[in-house]
Structure 1
Amino acid sequence: RPKVILLVGTMAIEAFFGKVRLEDVIGTFQERDDMLLLPLPHPSGVSRWLNEPAHQKLHQQALKLLSTWRDEFAL
């Protein structure tokens, strides 16, 4: 059973969180059934979501969480 699940893009995020705004979930996480769910924006060049400085900051927060978990759980 995985300890960390990366939810990449709106479809994956909505499968676990329901209909939400990316701004409300990127940079945060939820713990369910001993698993950490980390929403991330889709990296596609078509998506302009990451062009906004505020969104870039949220993305960096999410990546910091992932980095911490990588060290903590030896991922």
Structure 2
Amino acid sequence: SDMGGIPELIEEGKTGYIFKARDVDDLAEKILLIFENPQLYVKMRINSRKIAEERFDLRESAKKIESIILQNI
């Protein structure tokens, strides 16, 4: 839904869809869109995996944290 940190993680139409909180019709519309377009589902799944691996790589995160610490010592 469009609440909390979810919108920061989802790229609309690229890695998923964001629906309006408490709007079951909007949610149903997004589910049907993906269900009726298997190629879209595959594309989003691949994009999501790629972005997750880039953003949440443990080694890269550790390097960034180390850099911040070293800059502030």
User: TM tier, shorter chain?
Assistant: 0.3 to 0.5
* Structure with higher helix content: 2
Q: Which has the higher strand share?
A: 1
When Rg is computed on C-alpha atoms for both structures, the one with the higher figure is: 2
Select the structure with the greater relative contact order (CA < 8 A; seq sep ≥ 6): 1
| TM-score (normalised: structure 2) | 0.40
TM-score by length of 1: 0.39
